[in-house]
Amino acid sequence: YKVELFQKKKGVLYSIYSNETKTNAAEFKSLTKLDIGTFVWTIQGVDTAGRKIIRLSPVTRNEFKVKLGDISKDYKFKFKSDKKFIIE
């Protein structure tokens, strides 16, 4: 799988993370890159034979927003997305 994370500013996507994994899991630990704003993550299945790409799945894309909560609520981050996330 190829997993990418972008920050969206004025309609332009800026890459902040890209990783290829052979499992169905990816981990993003650079939380300092998640500023307040809009983000887009994508995932794509990649079938390879050695260094040769045999088949690519369609890219799945989801957008989410990071907002700062009300100051009276101790600056909690809020994530808003139209899709479900699994957080462990």
| Distance in angstroms (rounded) separating the CA atoms of residues 68 and 26 | 25
Q: Residue 88 pLDDT > 50, yes or no?
A: no
Q: Please tell me the pTM assigned to this model.
A: 0.68
Residue pLDDT, tens place only, 45-63: 887 777 777 777 888 888 9
Tell me what the mean pLDDT of segment 52-76 comes to: 73
pLDDT value, residue 85: 55
Angle subtended at Cα 13 by Cα 9 and Cα 16, rounded to the nearest 5 degrees:
100
Residue pLDDT, tens place only, 7-31: 999 999 999 999 888 877 778 888 7
